[in-house]
Structure 1
Protein backbone atom coordinates (compact mmCIF):
# COMPACT_ATOMS: atom_id res chain seq x y z
CA UNK A 1 0.00 0.00 0.00
CA UNK A 2 1.29 3.44 -0.96
CA UNK A 3 1.94 5.63 2.09
CA UNK A 4 0.57 8.90 0.75
CA UNK A 5 0.55 10.30 4.27
CA UNK A 6 4.29 10.67 3.77
CA UNK A 7 3.67 13.62 1.44
CA UNK A 8 2.85 15.88 4.38
CA UNK A 9 5.77 14.43 6.33
CA UNK A 10 8.01 15.21 3.37
CA UNK A 11 6.67 18.76 3.24
CA UNK A 12 7.78 19.26 6.85
CA UNK A 13 11.18 17.63 6.28
CA UNK A 14 11.78 19.68 3.14
CA UNK A 15 10.90 22.92 4.91
CA UNK A 16 13.36 22.14 7.69
CA UNK A 17 16.13 21.17 5.25
CA UNK A 18 16.04 24.70 3.81
CA UNK A 19 16.78 26.22 7.25
CA UNK A 20 20.46 26.44 8.28
CA UNK A 21 20.75 24.81 11.70
CA UNK A 22 17.69 22.55 11.40
CA UNK A 23 18.01 18.94 10.26
CA UNK A 24 15.50 16.99 8.20
CA UNK A 25 16.63 14.01 10.28
CA UNK A 26 15.41 15.82 13.40
CA UNK A 27 11.97 16.29 11.83
CA UNK A 28 11.95 12.60 10.86
CA UNK A 29 12.48 11.81 14.54
CA UNK A 30 9.63 14.16 15.53
CA UNK A 31 7.40 12.36 13.02
CA UNK A 32 8.44 8.94 14.31
CA UNK A 33 9.70 7.72 10.93
CA UNK A 34 13.49 7.99 11.37
CA UNK A 35 14.12 4.25 11.79
CA UNK A 36 11.86 3.45 8.83
CA UNK A 37 13.52 6.11 6.70
CA UNK A 38 16.95 4.56 7.24
CA UNK A 39 15.55 1.08 6.59
CA UNK A 40 13.71 2.21 3.43
CA UNK A 41 16.75 3.92 1.89
CA UNK A 42 18.81 0.77 2.43
CA UNK A 43 16.00 -1.59 1.40
CA UNK A 44 15.40 0.28 -1.86
CA UNK A 45 18.47 -1.48 -3.26
CA UNK A 46 17.24 -4.96 -2.31
CA UNK A 47 14.68 -7.42 -3.71
CA UNK A 48 11.96 -5.67 -1.69
CA UNK A 49 12.54 -2.33 -3.43
CA UNK A 50 8.87 -1.99 -4.43
CA UNK A 51 7.75 -2.01 -0.79
CA UNK A 52 10.27 0.66 0.15
CA UNK A 53 9.43 2.71 -2.94
CA UNK A 54 5.86 3.04 -1.63
CA UNK A 55 7.32 4.67 1.48
CA UNK A 56 10.04 6.78 -0.16
CA UNK A 57 8.29 8.16 -3.27
CA UNK A 58 5.50 10.05 -1.41
CA UNK A 59 8.10 11.30 1.08
CA UNK A 60 10.33 12.47 -1.78
CA UNK A 61 7.42 14.22 -3.50
CA UNK A 62 6.72 16.14 -0.29
CA UNK A 63 10.38 17.06 0.26
CA UNK A 64 10.97 18.26 -3.32
CA UNK A 65 7.66 20.19 -3.40
CA UNK A 66 8.41 21.84 -0.08
CA UNK A 67 11.94 22.88 -1.05
CA UNK A 68 10.71 24.26 -4.39
CA UNK A 69 7.78 26.19 -2.89
CA UNK A 70 9.10 27.21 0.51
CA UNK A 71 12.74 28.10 -0.19
CA UNK A 72 11.77 31.68 -1.05
CA UNK A 73 9.28 31.93 1.84
CA UNK A 74 11.78 30.75 4.44
CA UNK A 75 14.45 33.01 2.97
CA UNK A 76 11.98 35.91 3.34
CA UNK A 77 11.21 34.99 6.96
CA UNK A 78 14.93 34.81 7.80
CA UNK A 79 15.52 38.15 6.09
CA UNK A 80 12.69 40.03 7.82
CA UNK A 81 12.08 38.06 11.05
CA UNK A 82 15.28 36.06 11.69
CA UNK A 83 15.03 35.92 15.50
CA UNK A 84 11.41 34.74 15.89
CA UNK A 85 11.85 32.28 13.01
CA UNK A 86 14.93 30.74 14.63
CA UNK A 87 13.16 30.56 17.98
CA UNK A 88 10.32 28.59 16.37
CA UNK A 89 12.74 25.97 15.07
CA UNK A 90 14.57 26.07 18.40
CA UNK A 91 11.32 25.09 20.13
CA UNK A 92 10.74 22.36 17.57
CA UNK A 93 14.21 20.89 18.17
CA UNK A 94 13.90 20.98 21.97
CA UNK A 95 10.43 19.48 21.65
CA UNK A 96 11.85 16.30 20.10
CA UNK A 97 14.20 15.54 23.00
CA UNK A 98 11.58 13.93 25.32
CA UNK A 99 10.64 11.48 22.56
CA UNK A 100 14.29 10.67 21.84
CA UNK A 101 15.13 10.01 25.49
CA UNK A 102 12.03 7.80 25.81
CA UNK A 103 12.83 5.85 22.62
CA UNK A 104 16.42 5.33 23.75
CA UNK A 105 15.19 4.22 27.22
CA UNK A 106 17.95 6.31 28.81
CA UNK A 107 17.03 5.46 32.41
CA UNK A 108 17.50 1.74 31.92
CA UNK A 109 19.98 1.36 29.07
CA UNK A 110 22.43 4.25 29.28
CA UNK A 111 25.75 3.71 31.04
CA UNK A 112 28.64 6.09 31.63
CA UNK A 113 30.10 5.53 28.16
CA UNK A 114 26.78 6.49 26.56
CA UNK A 115 26.73 9.85 28.34
CA UNK A 116 30.30 10.44 27.13
CA UNK A 117 29.15 9.77 23.55
CA UNK A 118 26.21 12.14 24.10
CA UNK A 119 28.56 14.92 25.23
CA UNK A 120 30.90 14.31 22.28
CA UNK A 121 27.98 14.50 19.82
CA UNK A 122 26.75 17.73 21.40
CA UNK A 123 30.24 19.26 21.35
CA UNK A 124 30.82 18.39 17.69
CA UNK A 125 27.63 20.11 16.51
CA UNK A 126 27.87 23.04 18.93
CA UNK A 127 31.40 23.75 17.68
CA UNK A 128 29.97 24.33 14.19
CA UNK A 129 28.65 27.69 15.43
CA UNK A 130 32.26 28.89 15.24
CA UNK A 131 32.30 28.34 11.48
CA UNK A 132 29.22 30.41 10.65
CA UNK A 133 29.84 32.58 7.61
CA UNK A 134 28.28 35.66 6.07
CA UNK A 135 28.29 34.14 2.56
CA UNK A 136 25.60 36.03 0.64
CA UNK A 137 26.41 36.08 -3.09
CA UNK A 138 25.64 33.24 -5.49
CA UNK A 139 28.04 31.97 -8.17
CA UNK A 140 27.09 33.55 -11.48
CA UNK A 141 29.19 31.68 -14.06
CA UNK A 142 29.96 28.18 -12.82
CA UNK A 143 33.11 26.46 -14.08
CA UNK A 144 33.89 22.72 -13.94
CA UNK A 145 35.60 23.19 -10.58
CA UNK A 146 32.47 24.98 -9.38
CA UNK A 147 30.28 22.06 -10.41
CA UNK A 148 32.63 19.65 -8.61
CA UNK A 149 32.36 21.83 -5.50
CA UNK A 150 28.55 21.79 -5.74
CA UNK A 151 28.52 18.00 -6.21
CA UNK A 152 30.71 17.31 -3.18
CA UNK A 153 28.82 19.95 -1.18
CA UNK A 154 25.57 18.10 -1.88
CA UNK A 155 27.18 14.79 -0.94
CA UNK A 156 28.58 16.11 2.36
CA UNK A 157 25.41 18.05 3.18
CA UNK A 158 23.11 15.07 2.62
CA UNK A 159 25.38 12.86 4.72
CA UNK A 160 24.84 15.38 7.50
CA UNK A 161 21.17 15.89 6.64
CA UNK A 162 20.22 12.31 7.48
CA UNK A 163 21.67 12.67 10.99
CA UNK A 164 19.33 14.35 13.50
CA UNK A 165 20.88 17.57 14.78
CA UNK A 166 23.22 18.23 11.87
CA UNK A 167 21.79 20.58 9.28
CA UNK A 168 22.61 19.98 5.63
CA UNK A 169 21.84 23.64 4.89
CA UNK A 170 24.26 24.71 7.61
CA UNK A 171 26.98 22.56 6.04
CA UNK A 172 26.31 24.31 2.70
CA UNK A 173 26.61 27.63 4.53
CA UNK A 174 29.98 26.63 6.02
CA UNK A 175 31.28 25.46 2.62
CA UNK A 176 30.09 28.73 1.09
CA UNK A 177 27.56 27.52 -1.49
CA UNK A 178 24.24 27.91 0.41
CA UNK A 179 23.17 31.02 -1.51
CA UNK A 180 24.18 29.46 -4.84
CA UNK A 181 22.07 26.36 -4.13
CA UNK A 182 18.97 28.18 -2.80
CA UNK A 183 19.13 30.72 -5.66
CA UNK A 184 19.53 27.86 -8.13
CA UNK A 185 16.38 26.21 -6.74
CA UNK A 186 14.40 29.47 -6.72
CA UNK A 187 15.48 30.32 -10.29
CA UNK A 188 15.05 26.68 -11.41
CA UNK A 189 18.64 26.31 -12.63
CA UNK A 190 18.59 22.74 -13.95
CA UNK A 191 22.38 22.43 -13.93
CA UNK A 192 22.71 23.36 -10.25
CA UNK A 193 19.72 21.27 -9.20
CA UNK A 194 21.00 18.19 -11.11
CA UNK A 195 24.59 18.38 -9.86
CA UNK A 196 23.69 19.04 -6.21
CA UNK A 197 20.82 16.53 -6.39
CA UNK A 198 23.13 13.74 -7.60
CA UNK A 199 25.55 14.50 -4.78
CA UNK A 200 22.68 14.45 -2.27
CA UNK A 201 21.45 11.09 -3.58
CA UNK A 202 24.86 9.44 -3.19
CA UNK A 203 25.31 10.96 0.25
CA UNK A 204 21.94 9.69 1.48
CA UNK A 205 22.69 6.16 0.26
CA UNK A 206 26.17 5.96 1.82
CA UNK A 207 25.31 7.57 5.16
CA UNK A 208 22.08 5.58 5.59
CA UNK A 209 24.08 2.35 5.38
CA UNK A 210 26.45 3.57 8.09
CA UNK A 211 23.61 4.72 10.36
CA UNK A 212 21.70 1.43 9.87
CA UNK A 213 24.80 -0.60 10.81
CA UNK A 214 25.26 1.32 14.06
CA UNK A 215 21.53 1.30 14.90
CA UNK A 216 21.49 -2.49 14.43
CA UNK A 217 24.71 -3.28 16.32
CA UNK A 218 25.17 -0.39 18.79
CA UNK A 219 21.63 0.85 19.40
CA UNK A 220 22.11 2.65 22.72
CA UNK A 221 25.41 4.18 21.68
CA UNK A 222 23.90 5.42 18.42
CA UNK A 223 20.94 6.98 20.22
CA UNK A 224 23.36 8.62 22.67
CA UNK A 225 25.19 10.27 19.76
CA UNK A 226 21.92 11.27 18.08
CA UNK A 227 20.61 12.89 21.29
CA UNK A 228 23.92 14.72 21.62
CA UNK A 229 23.71 15.95 18.02
CA UNK A 230 20.21 17.32 18.64
CA UNK A 231 21.29 19.06 21.86
CA UNK A 232 24.30 20.53 20.08
CA UNK A 233 22.12 21.96 17.31
CA UNK A 234 20.35 24.09 19.94
CA UNK A 235 23.60 26.06 20.39
CA UNK A 236 24.00 26.44 16.62
CA UNK A 237 20.52 27.83 15.94
CA UNK A 238 20.15 29.94 19.12
CA UNK A 239 20.17 33.55 17.83
CA UNK A 240 20.84 35.23 21.16
CA UNK A 241 18.53 37.14 23.48
CA UNK A 242 16.35 39.63 21.53
CA UNK A 243 17.23 43.26 22.18
CA UNK A 244 13.75 44.81 22.14
CA UNK A 245 10.67 43.89 24.18
CA UNK A 246 8.63 43.39 21.01
CA UNK A 247 11.14 40.96 19.54
CA UNK A 248 11.46 39.16 22.88
CA UNK A 249 7.68 38.71 23.07
CA UNK A 250 7.48 37.51 19.45
CA UNK A 251 10.38 35.10 20.01
CA UNK A 252 8.78 33.63 23.15
CA UNK A 253 5.52 33.10 21.25
CA UNK A 254 7.24 31.42 18.28
CA UNK A 255 9.40 29.31 20.63
CA UNK A 256 6.28 28.05 22.41
CA UNK A 257 4.74 27.51 18.97
CA UNK A 258 7.68 25.27 18.05
CA UNK A 259 7.30 23.26 21.26
CA UNK A 260 3.55 22.94 20.61
CA UNK A 261 4.16 21.85 17.00
CA UNK A 262 6.54 19.10 18.16
CA UNK A 263 4.01 17.92 20.77
CA UNK A 264 1.09 17.95 18.30
CA UNK A 265 3.08 16.13 15.63
CA UNK A 266 4.06 13.53 18.19
CA UNK A 267 0.43 12.99 19.22
CA UNK A 268 -0.76 12.72 15.60
CA UNK A 269 1.99 10.33 14.57
CA UNK A 270 2.18 8.04 17.56
CA UNK A 271 -1.60 7.67 17.85
CA UNK A 272 -2.06 7.18 14.12
Structure 2
Protein backbone atom coordinates (compact mmCIF):
# COMPACT_ATOMS: atom_id res chain seq x y z
CA UNK A 1 0.00 0.00 0.00
CA UNK A 2 2.88 2.34 0.82
CA UNK A 3 4.31 1.92 -2.67
CA UNK A 4 0.91 2.56 -4.27
CA UNK A 5 0.62 5.88 -2.42
CA UNK A 6 4.17 6.75 -3.44
CA UNK A 7 3.35 5.98 -7.08
CA UNK A 8 0.26 8.23 -6.86
CA UNK A 9 2.42 11.01 -5.41
CA UNK A 10 4.69 10.61 -8.43
CA UNK A 11 1.68 10.89 -10.73
CA UNK A 12 0.68 14.12 -8.97
CA UNK A 13 4.23 15.49 -9.27
CA UNK A 14 4.35 14.69 -12.99
CA UNK A 15 0.95 16.27 -13.61
CA UNK A 16 2.01 19.43 -11.78
CA UNK A 17 5.26 19.67 -13.73
CA UNK A 18 3.38 19.80 -17.03
CA UNK A 19 1.69 23.09 -16.06
CA UNK A 20 3.81 26.24 -16.55
CA UNK A 21 3.71 27.93 -13.15
CA UNK A 22 3.29 24.87 -10.94
CA UNK A 23 6.13 22.77 -9.53
CA UNK A 24 6.31 19.07 -8.84
CA UNK A 25 8.49 20.05 -5.90
CA UNK A 26 5.40 21.61 -4.32
CA UNK A 27 3.60 18.26 -4.45
CA UNK A 28 6.65 16.47 -3.03
CA UNK A 29 6.76 18.94 -0.15
CA UNK A 30 3.11 18.78 0.86
CA UNK A 31 3.07 14.98 0.65
CA UNK A 32 5.99 14.73 3.06
CA UNK A 33 8.59 13.18 0.72
CA UNK A 34 10.65 16.25 -0.23
CA UNK A 35 13.63 15.74 2.09
CA UNK A 36 13.72 11.98 1.44
CA UNK A 37 13.64 12.65 -2.29
CA UNK A 38 16.62 15.02 -2.13
CA UNK A 39 18.57 12.70 0.17
CA UNK A 40 17.88 9.72 -2.10
CA UNK A 41 19.05 11.59 -5.20
CA UNK A 42 22.13 12.79 -3.32
CA UNK A 43 22.98 9.20 -2.38
CA UNK A 44 23.67 8.33 -6.04
CA UNK A 45 27.41 9.02 -5.99
CA UNK A 46 30.82 7.41 -6.24
CA UNK A 47 30.40 5.76 -2.86
CA UNK A 48 27.24 4.05 -4.13
CA UNK A 49 29.22 2.73 -7.11
CA UNK A 50 31.86 1.34 -4.73
CA UNK A 51 29.11 -0.44 -2.82
CA UNK A 52 27.80 -1.86 -6.11
CA UNK A 53 31.15 -3.41 -7.09
CA UNK A 54 32.07 -4.45 -3.55
CA UNK A 55 28.77 -5.72 -2.12
CA UNK A 56 26.53 -6.30 -5.13
CA UNK A 57 23.26 -4.97 -6.52
CA UNK A 58 21.05 -5.48 -3.41
CA UNK A 59 23.37 -3.41 -1.22
CA UNK A 60 23.65 -0.72 -3.91
CA UNK A 61 19.86 -0.61 -4.33
CA UNK A 62 19.42 -0.15 -0.60
CA UNK A 63 22.14 2.52 -0.43
CA UNK A 64 20.41 4.72 -3.02
CA UNK A 65 16.87 4.04 -1.70
CA UNK A 66 16.20 2.51 -5.11
CA UNK A 67 12.66 1.28 -4.54
CA UNK A 68 11.57 4.75 -3.43
CA UNK A 69 13.18 6.45 -6.44
CA UNK A 70 11.94 3.89 -8.99
CA UNK A 71 8.35 3.98 -7.73
CA UNK A 72 8.23 7.78 -7.64
CA UNK A 73 9.97 8.20 -11.01
CA UNK A 74 7.58 5.70 -12.61
CA UNK A 75 4.63 7.78 -11.49
CA UNK A 76 6.23 11.01 -12.74
CA UNK A 77 7.11 9.59 -16.17
CA UNK A 78 3.71 7.98 -16.68
CA UNK A 79 2.01 11.27 -15.79
CA UNK A 80 4.24 13.22 -18.18
CA UNK A 81 3.51 10.82 -21.04
CA UNK A 82 -0.20 10.21 -20.44
CA UNK A 83 -1.38 13.54 -19.01
CA UNK A 84 0.65 15.98 -21.14
CA UNK A 85 -1.89 16.02 -23.98
CA UNK A 86 -4.92 16.42 -21.70
CA UNK A 87 -3.45 19.17 -19.55
CA UNK A 88 -2.15 20.97 -22.61
CA UNK A 89 -5.68 20.88 -24.08
CA UNK A 90 -7.22 22.24 -20.86
CA UNK A 91 -4.67 25.05 -20.68
CA UNK A 92 -5.51 26.13 -24.22
CA UNK A 93 -9.29 25.78 -23.98
CA UNK A 94 -10.18 26.19 -20.28
CA UNK A 95 -7.26 28.08 -18.71
CA UNK A 96 -9.29 29.76 -15.94
CA UNK A 97 -10.39 26.40 -14.53
CA UNK A 98 -6.86 24.98 -14.55
CA UNK A 99 -5.28 28.09 -13.01
CA UNK A 100 -8.04 28.35 -10.36
CA UNK A 101 -7.45 24.79 -9.19
CA UNK A 102 -3.71 25.29 -8.91
CA UNK A 103 -4.16 28.72 -7.30
CA UNK A 104 -6.05 27.09 -4.44
CA UNK A 105 -3.52 24.29 -4.26
CA UNK A 106 -0.59 26.71 -3.95
CA UNK A 107 -2.31 28.93 -1.36
CA UNK A 108 -2.94 25.87 0.78
CA UNK A 109 0.64 24.71 0.21
CA UNK A 110 1.99 28.05 1.50
CA UNK A 111 -0.02 27.55 4.68
CA UNK A 112 1.10 23.92 4.93
CA UNK A 113 4.81 24.72 4.72
CA UNK A 114 4.60 27.93 6.74
CA UNK A 115 3.15 26.14 9.76
CA UNK A 116 6.17 23.81 9.78
CA UNK A 117 8.38 26.77 10.77
CA UNK A 118 8.57 26.74 14.59
CA UNK A 119 9.65 30.36 15.03
CA UNK A 120 9.53 33.37 12.69
CA UNK A 121 12.69 35.45 13.18
CA UNK A 122 14.12 38.15 10.92
CA UNK A 123 16.04 35.46 8.99
CA UNK A 124 12.84 33.59 8.11
CA UNK A 125 11.00 36.79 7.21
CA UNK A 126 13.87 37.91 4.97
CA UNK A 127 13.97 34.51 3.26
CA UNK A 128 10.18 34.59 2.78
CA UNK A 129 10.36 38.04 1.15
CA UNK A 130 13.33 37.06 -1.04
CA UNK A 131 11.62 33.91 -2.26
CA UNK A 132 8.39 35.76 -3.06
CA UNK A 133 10.22 38.51 -4.96
CA UNK A 134 12.34 36.07 -6.99
CA UNK A 135 9.38 33.87 -7.93
CA UNK A 136 7.18 36.85 -8.79
CA UNK A 137 9.93 38.35 -10.96
CA UNK A 138 10.38 35.07 -12.81
CA UNK A 139 6.59 34.85 -13.24
CA UNK A 140 6.31 38.23 -14.99
CA UNK A 141 9.50 37.95 -17.04
CA UNK A 142 9.01 38.19 -20.79
CA UNK A 143 9.49 34.92 -22.70
CA UNK A 144 12.20 34.65 -25.33
CA UNK A 145 12.66 32.38 -28.33
CA UNK A 146 15.69 30.07 -28.48
CA UNK A 147 16.34 27.52 -31.21
CA UNK A 148 16.11 23.97 -29.84
CA UNK A 149 19.60 22.81 -30.83
CA UNK A 150 21.00 19.67 -29.13
CA UNK A 151 23.22 21.70 -26.77
CA UNK A 152 20.36 24.06 -25.87
CA UNK A 153 18.04 21.12 -25.14
CA UNK A 154 20.73 19.58 -22.90
CA UNK A 155 21.26 22.86 -21.01
CA UNK A 156 17.50 23.43 -20.77
CA UNK A 157 17.15 20.07 -19.04
CA UNK A 158 19.83 21.04 -16.49
CA UNK A 159 18.16 24.37 -15.70
CA UNK A 160 14.54 23.20 -15.77
CA UNK A 161 15.12 20.28 -13.41
CA UNK A 162 16.51 22.68 -10.78
CA UNK A 163 13.24 24.60 -10.93
CA UNK A 164 11.14 21.44 -10.97
CA UNK A 165 12.43 20.34 -7.56
CA UNK A 166 11.98 23.81 -6.05
CA UNK A 167 8.44 24.33 -4.71
CA UNK A 168 6.90 27.40 -6.33
CA UNK A 169 9.26 27.69 -9.30
CA UNK A 170 8.04 25.73 -12.27
CA UNK A 171 10.41 23.94 -14.58
CA UNK A 172 7.74 24.13 -17.27
CA UNK A 173 7.57 27.90 -16.89
CA UNK A 174 11.36 28.18 -17.13
CA UNK A 175 11.10 26.30 -20.42
CA UNK A 176 8.34 28.69 -21.49
CA UNK A 177 10.57 31.68 -20.73
CA UNK A 178 13.32 30.13 -22.82
CA UNK A 179 10.89 29.50 -25.68
CA UNK A 180 11.42 25.74 -25.37
CA UNK A 181 8.19 24.62 -23.69
CA UNK A 182 6.44 23.81 -26.97
CA UNK A 183 9.34 21.82 -28.51
CA UNK A 184 9.91 19.78 -25.33
CA UNK A 185 6.21 19.08 -24.72
CA UNK A 186 5.83 18.23 -28.40
CA UNK A 187 8.72 15.77 -28.13
CA UNK A 188 7.05 14.09 -25.13
CA UNK A 189 3.70 13.80 -26.92
CA UNK A 190 5.40 12.47 -30.09
CA UNK A 191 7.80 10.23 -28.12
CA UNK A 192 10.80 11.80 -29.87
CA UNK A 193 13.49 9.77 -28.13
CA UNK A 194 16.35 11.95 -29.43
CA UNK A 195 15.14 15.20 -27.87
CA UNK A 196 13.78 13.40 -24.79
CA UNK A 197 17.12 11.65 -24.29
CA UNK A 198 19.18 14.85 -24.52
CA UNK A 199 16.81 16.64 -22.16
CA UNK A 200 16.90 13.70 -19.72
CA UNK A 201 20.73 13.60 -19.64
CA UNK A 202 20.88 17.33 -18.96
CA UNK A 203 18.20 16.99 -16.29
CA UNK A 204 20.09 14.14 -14.66
CA UNK A 205 23.28 16.19 -14.40
CA UNK A 206 21.45 19.23 -13.02
CA UNK A 207 19.55 17.07 -10.56
CA UNK A 208 22.69 15.42 -9.19
CA UNK A 209 24.37 18.76 -8.54
CA UNK A 210 21.44 20.85 -7.32
CA UNK A 211 19.92 18.19 -5.05
CA UNK A 212 23.13 18.07 -3.02
CA UNK A 213 23.01 21.80 -2.37
CA UNK A 214 19.32 21.75 -1.45
CA UNK A 215 19.71 18.73 0.82
CA UNK A 216 22.60 20.34 2.69
CA UNK A 217 20.66 23.58 3.16
CA UNK A 218 17.56 21.76 4.42
CA UNK A 219 19.58 19.79 6.96
CA UNK A 220 21.56 22.80 8.23
CA UNK A 221 19.14 25.73 7.83
CA UNK A 222 15.72 24.07 7.85
CA UNK A 223 13.57 26.97 9.11
CA UNK A 224 15.14 29.50 6.77
CA UNK A 225 14.81 27.13 3.82
CA UNK A 226 11.17 26.41 4.65
CA UNK A 227 10.54 30.17 4.69
CA UNK A 228 12.35 30.60 1.36
CA UNK A 229 10.34 27.77 -0.22
CA UNK A 230 7.12 29.28 1.14
CA UNK A 231 8.13 32.58 -0.46
CA UNK A 232 8.78 30.85 -3.78
CA UNK A 233 5.27 29.44 -3.77
CA UNK A 234 3.65 32.72 -2.67
CA UNK A 235 5.45 34.58 -5.47
CA UNK A 236 4.32 32.02 -8.04
CA UNK A 237 0.69 33.05 -7.39
CA UNK A 238 1.37 35.95 -9.76
CA UNK A 239 1.76 33.42 -12.57
CA UNK A 240 -1.20 31.18 -11.67
CA UNK A 241 -3.76 34.00 -11.20
CA UNK A 242 -6.68 32.65 -13.27
CA UNK A 243 -7.77 35.80 -15.14
CA UNK A 244 -5.37 37.07 -17.76
CA UNK A 245 -5.37 39.45 -20.67
CA UNK A 246 -3.32 38.38 -23.68
CA UNK A 247 -1.00 41.16 -24.82
CA UNK A 248 0.91 39.20 -27.44
CA UNK A 249 0.34 35.88 -29.17
CA UNK A 250 2.57 33.49 -31.05
CA UNK A 251 2.12 30.65 -33.53
CA UNK A 252 3.01 27.26 -32.04
CA UNK A 253 4.54 24.27 -33.82
CA UNK A 254 1.09 23.20 -35.10
CA UNK A 255 0.33 26.59 -36.61
CA UNK A 256 -2.15 27.48 -33.86
CA UNK A 257 -2.20 30.98 -32.35
CA UNK A 258 -1.56 30.78 -28.59
CA UNK A 259 -0.94 33.37 -25.82
CA UNK A 260 2.68 34.51 -25.48
CA UNK A 261 2.68 37.51 -23.10
CA UNK A 262 -0.19 38.04 -20.65
CA UNK A 263 -1.11 40.38 -17.78
CA UNK A 264 -3.38 39.67 -14.80
CA UNK A 265 -6.86 41.24 -14.73
CA UNK A 266 -9.94 41.07 -12.46
CA UNK A 267 -12.69 38.43 -13.00
CA UNK A 268 -14.93 39.24 -15.95
CA UNK A 269 -18.15 37.78 -14.46
CA UNK A 270 -19.61 36.68 -11.12
CA UNK A 271 -20.45 33.21 -12.46
CA UNK A 272 -16.89 32.65 -13.60
CA UNK A 273 -15.57 33.89 -10.26
CA UNK A 274 -17.83 31.53 -8.27
CA UNK A 275 -16.81 28.49 -10.32
CA UNK A 276 -13.16 29.53 -10.02
CA UNK A 277 -13.55 29.73 -6.23
CA UNK A 278 -15.04 26.24 -6.17
CA UNK A 279 -12.11 24.89 -8.17
CA UNK A 280 -9.66 26.74 -5.94
CA UNK A 281 -11.43 25.12 -3.00
CA UNK A 282 -10.91 21.74 -4.67
CA UNK A 283 -7.18 22.48 -4.93
CA UNK A 284 -7.13 23.42 -1.25
CA UNK A 285 -9.00 20.24 -0.38
CA UNK A 286 -6.49 18.17 -2.32
CA UNK A 287 -3.66 19.62 -0.23
CA UNK A 288 -5.50 18.70 2.97
CA UNK A 289 -6.03 15.18 1.61
CA UNK A 290 -2.37 14.82 0.63
CA UNK A 291 -1.35 16.13 4.06
CA UNK A 292 -3.52 13.48 5.73
CA UNK A 293 -2.08 10.76 3.50
CA UNK A 294 1.46 11.89 4.38
CA UNK A 295 0.67 11.68 8.10
CA UNK A 296 -0.84 8.21 7.73
CA UNK A 297 2.20 6.81 5.87
**Normalising to structure 1: TM-score of the pair?**
0.91
Aligned residues of 1:43 and 1:49 also touching (Cα < 8 A):
no
Aligned counterparts, 1:115-134, within 5 A = 115-133=125-143
Aligned twin of 2:174 = 171
Residue in structure 1 matching 2:291, options 261, 266, 269:
266
- Structure 1, unaligned runs of 5 or more: none
Q: How far 1:134 sits from its partner (Å)? A: 8.4
Q: Tell me the SS of whatever aligns to 2:20.
A: coil
Aligned twin of 2:268 = 243
Residue in structure 2 matching 1:225, options 209, 225, 228:
228
User: Bigger CA drift: 201-210 or 232-241?
Assistant: 232-241
1:190 aligns with 2:201: no
Aligned counterparts, 1:1-272, within 5 A = 3-45=3-45, 46=48, 47=51, 49-51=60-62, 52-105=65-118, 108=119, 110-133=120-143, 146-240=149-243, 241-272=266-297
Structure richer in strand, relative to its length: 2
> Aligned in 2, Cα 1:115/1:93: closer, same or farther, shift over 3 Å?
same
> Aligned in 2, Cα 1:70/1:134: closer, same or farther, shift over 3 Å?
farther
> How large is the RMSD of aligned CA atoms in angstroms?
1.9
Aligned residues of 2:97 and 2:242 also touching (Cα < 8 A):
no
Q: Tell me the SS of whatever aligns to 2:219.
A: helix
Which aligned segments of 4 or more residues in structure 1 are displaced greater than 4 angstroms? Answer: none
**Normalising to structure 2: TM-score of the pair?**
0.83
Aligned residues of 1:25 and 1:163 also touching (Cα < 8 A):
yes
Aligned residues of 1:157 and 1:172 also touching (Cα < 8 A):
yes
> Aligned in 2, Cα 1:2/1:246: closer, same or farther, shift over 3 Å?
closer
Aligned residues of 2:21 and 2:139 also touching (Cα < 8 A):
no
User: Bigger CA drift: 35-44 or 66-75?
Assistant: 35-44
Structure 2: how far apart are the matches of 1:133 and 1:176?
Answer: 6
Structure 2: how far apart are the matches of 1:134 and 1:81?
Answer: 24
Q: How far 1:168 sits from its partner (Å)? A: 0.3
User: 1:227-248 CA distances to partner (integer Å, 9 max, x unpaired)?
Assistant: 1111111122113333133322
Aligned residues of 2:10 and 2:74 also touching (Cα < 8 A):
yes
Which structure would you say has the larger Rg?
2
Structure 2: how far apart are the matches of 1:35 and 1:10?
Answer: 15
Aligned residues of 1:91 and 1:255 also touching (Cα < 8 A):
yes
Q: How far 1:26 sits from its partner (Å)? A: 0.4
